[in-house]
Amino acid sequence: KRIFSIVCIPGDGIGVDITDAATQVLTKLSSTFGTFTLKFDTLDWSSKNYKERGYYAPEGGVNSLKKYDAIYFGAVGWPDVPDHISLWQMILPIRTTLNQYANVRPTKILPGTSSPLSACVADPSLLDWVIVRENSEGEYSGHGGTTPSTAHAAHTVATEVSIFTKVGCERIFRFAFETALSRPRKKLTMVTKSNAQRHGMVLWDAIFYEVAREYDGRVEYDKMLVDAMTVRMVNRPESLDTIVATNLHADILSDLAAALSGSIGIAPSSNLDPTRQFPSMFEPIHGSAPDIAGQGIANPIGAFWSAAEMIRWLAGADGASNDEGLVEGTGVGHMVEAADCLMQAIANVTENGVKTRDLGGKSGTREVTDAVCEEI
């Protein structure tokens, strides 16, 4: 019986509510299966503590995460701390320090829920995507500055520098092609804005076509400009399958995808180190939602789905590639079955109408959580 140690960072706002809910569901799952154990530690890296102590993670904090098998993250951000501070002190350094260069964001319409898109209201199967987000560089490199360093000089100029490396592009494209290969339709759409951004984005495109050659005949691929991509997501959802995009583009497109699938409250995200050298991190894509925090009404489905992805990743059976090629499924302790079971439980619960308000239901976080535990 394999023991996995998971570190939870609930963070701020509804991050706390949904992390509680997720650990409850995960505990139920492992005790039901009985073939694997999850041990949880919790870290209080939050905006509240930042206000009191002056830091989110203590010195060496991010490195201390390396001893865990996985990281479960709630949400970070609170009105009284500028957002760029909360993010650059916590979530962004975790992603880059732990080599989590692939952020995977599946989207589909769950049973019993509906899309705001009229076409998908009639046929929810039209929308079934996985967005692979470059998670380590690009527009989130953090480079740049402001001169003079006050906003108040008439001639102040600030720069924001996006960095694209050949290594970074190659590995995310290879990961995306492997993801596409693992799905029934084996299609990959690459998103770019190389028409207007003539340096980094042009390299991005060139490397895409280099990597694509390795997959010729095995994966069907095409290229979209990010602006036109939003139109295609709205008008021809069925034409898309796997999508690969830069850090910023995929950030935007994955929120849009979540909205089109019914609610941002259901959308999961996995920050993966495909080499498995360091722990990967799992988090719902929604934020800390200060407006509904602590009211017991947050939708925990995105948190549960993220938890299912964590279990699947821990089993090593997800079809992701590492530097040497495909990691074959090891099926540790029936964990793939456990992940499937959790996804089925979620589907049964939404289908039965036990849903939070964002999905048009009346239930609270606790009620949905209990119902999912019940189904397991």
Ligand X SMILES: CC(C)[C@H](C(=O)O)[C@@H](O)C(=O)O
Site for ligand X, residues 196 to 215, rule: CB under 6 A: 196
Work out whether 254 is an interface residue with its own copies (CB under 8 A): yes
How near is the Cβ of 162 to its own copies at its closest, in Å?
4
Residue 167 or 196 having the CB closest to ligand X: 196
Q: Which does 151 bind (CB under 5 to 8 A by kind): its own copies, ligand X, none?
A: its own copies
Residue 61 or 287 having the CB closest to its own copies: 287
Taken in order 358, 360, 362, 364, the sign of the CA dihedral is negative
Q: Considering only 18-26, 157-165, 292-300, 326-334, which stretch makes contact with its own copies by CB under 8 A?
A: 157-165
Question: What Cα–Cα distance (Å) separates residue 159 from each residue in 91, 149, 162?
Answer: 22, 11, 10
Contact (CB, 8 A) for 175 and 319: no
Work out whether 251 is an interface residue with ligand X (CB under 6 A): yes
Report the residue from 13, 15, 74, 77 that binds its own copies according to the rule CB under 8 A: 77
Residue 129 or 215 having the CB closest to ligand X: 129
Residue 109: CB atoms within 10 A of its CB come to 23
Q: Which helix (H) or strand (E) holds 324?
A: none
Site for its own copies, residues 174 to 193, rule: CB under 8 A: 193
- Phi/psi region, residue 111 (left: phi>0; alpha: psi -120 to 50; beta: rest), is beta
How near is the Cβ of 74 to ligand X at its closest, in Å?
11
Q: Considering only 37-45, 48-56, 105-113, 159-167, which stretch makes contact with its own copies by CB under 8 A?
A: 159-167
Q: How far is the C-alpha of 152 from the C-alpha of 148, rounded, in Å?
A: 9
Work out whether 160 is an interface residue with ligand X (CB under 6 A): no
In residues, how long is the chain?
376
Residue 48: CB atoms within 10 A of its CB come to 13
Contact (CB, 8 A) for 25 and 333: no
Contact (CB, 8 A) for 162 and 195: no
Residue 160 or 227 having the CB closest to ligand X: 227
Geometric angle at alpha carbon 99, from 141 and 16, rounded to 5° = 85
Q: How far is the C-alpha of 370 from the C-alpha of 364, rounded, in Å?
A: 10
Residue 87 or 347 having the CB closest to ligand X: 87
Report the residue from 123, 125, 161, 296 that binds its own copies according to the rule CB under 8 A: 161
Q: Considering only 124-132, 146-154, 306-314, 327-335, which stretch makes contact with its own copies by CB under 8 A?
A: 146-154
Site for ligand X, residues 51 to 90, rule: CB under 6 A: 87
Work out whether 275 is an interface residue with its own copies (CB under 8 A): no
How near is the Cβ of 161 to ligand X at its closest, in Å?
17
Residue 179 or 306 having the CB closest to ligand X: 306
Contact (CB, 8 A) for 346 and 359: no
Which two tokens mark 154?
Answer: 């008439």
Report the residue from 63, 64, 156, 195 that binds ligand X according to the rule CB under 6 A: 195
Amino acid at 50: Y
How near is the Cβ of 121 to its own copies at its closest, in Å?
6
Contact (CB, 8 A) for 65 and 7: yes
**Residue 325 DSSP code:** E
314 exposure class (CB count in 10 Å sphere: 0-12, 13-18, 19+): buried
* SS3 label, residue 43: coil
How near is the Cβ of 270 to ligand X at its closest, in Å?
11
How near is the Cβ of 335 to its own copies at its closest, in Å?
31
Report the residue from 52, 54, 59, 118 that binds its own copies according to the rule CB under 8 A: 118
Site for its own copies, residues 43 to 62, rule: CB under 8 A: none
Residue 22 or 260 having the CB closest to its own copies: 260
Work out whether 227 is an interface residue with ligand X (CB under 6 A): yes
Q: Which helix (H) or strand (E) holds 336?
A: helix 335-351
Q: How far is the C-alpha of 194 from the C-alpha of 208, rounded, in Å?
A: 12
Work out whether 212 is an interface residue with its own copies (CB under 8 A): no
Site for ligand X, residues 308 to 367, rule: CB under 6 A: none
Residues that bind ligand X (CB under 6 A): 87, 91, 195-196, 227, 251, 285
